[in-house]
């Protein structure tokens, strides 16, 4: 008999396998990035997703994000997502469950979201890029009021001081709908606040 976390991993993998993912075809001049929606387990084997707060300097200072970054030359999105996850949080040896839709940002990046399971690991932020790492229990994604809309903008209120906007908020909303609820949800038309467009 499967443990609850193993059953969850199988269910999410099955849902992402049958999901008709929208992919932006490779093309010259397109700037590409990848992020990981990484599911870990606490000591009670309760699943949670890690979100990070960017360091006060560098790209997108102080913003909420998923571990991730630009693709290196010749790198594939999954490779980049897992490399960035390891560099920014120290989480390694994850099992990829599948991918969500590519998200095209207002600044011209194509972000590929990778969903992965990492078991029991303690994320450690890389101080050069990450101010802090925060666990968000999977149940939180399914609570009433998540997501919410303010002034036509998506907000994912995922903790007492965690409110995440697009593009990261859009990716997490699609994760909640497709992977956790088993529904089809597209997020390509979700608007970004102006201050996320750097």
Interval 144-154 mean pLDDT: 95
Q: What is the pLDDT of residue 152?
A: 92
Query: Does residue 7 register a pLDDT over 80?
Result: yes
pLDDT tens, 175-194? 999 999 999 999 999 999 88
Which tokens belong to 162? 């965690």
Burial (Cβ within 10 Å: 0-12, 13-18, ≥19) of residue 48: middle
CA distance 37 to 91: 12
pLDDT tens, 52-61? 999 877 666 6
What stretch of H or E contains 61? none
- Residue 108 dihedral angles phi and psi, to the nearest 5°: 95, 5
Name the pairing type of β-strands 47-54 and 64-65. antiparallel
Which tokens belong to 47? 């699943």
Q: Where are the domains of the chain?
A: 5-181
List the beta strands (DSSP E) in 93-176: 95-99, 103-104, 109-119, 130-137, 148-150, 153-159, 162-164
CA distance 130 to 125: 5
Q: What is the pLDDT of residue 197?
A: 62
Which tokens belong to 116? 């992965």
Query: Does residue 198 register a pLDDT over 60?
Result: no
Write out the CATH class of domain 5-181.
alpha beta
């Amino acid at each position: 008999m499967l443990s609850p976390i193993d059953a969850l991993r199988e269910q999410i993998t099955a849902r992402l396998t049958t999901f008709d993912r929208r992919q932006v075809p490779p093309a010259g001049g397109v700037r590409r990035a990848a992020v990981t929606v990484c599911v870990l387990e606490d000591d009670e084997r309760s699943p949670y997703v890690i979100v990070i707060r960017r360091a006060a300097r560098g790209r997108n200072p102080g913003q909420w994000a998923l571990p991730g970054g630009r693709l290196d030359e010749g790198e594939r999105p999954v490779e980049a997502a897992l490399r960035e996850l390891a560099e920014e949080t120290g989480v390694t040896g994850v099992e990829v469950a599948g991918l969500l839709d590519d998200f095209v940002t207002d600044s011209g990046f194509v972000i590929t979201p990778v969903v992965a399971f990492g078991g029991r690991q303690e994320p450690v932020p890389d101080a050069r890029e990450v101010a802090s790492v925060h666990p968000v229990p999977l149940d939180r994604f399914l609570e009433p009021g998540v997501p919410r809309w303010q002034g036509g903008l998506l907000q994912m209120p995922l903790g007492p001081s965690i409110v995440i906007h697009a593009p990261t908020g859009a990716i997490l909303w699609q994760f909640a709908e497709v992977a956790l609820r088993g529904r089809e949800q597209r997020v390509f038309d979700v608007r970004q606040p102006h201050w996320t467009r750097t």
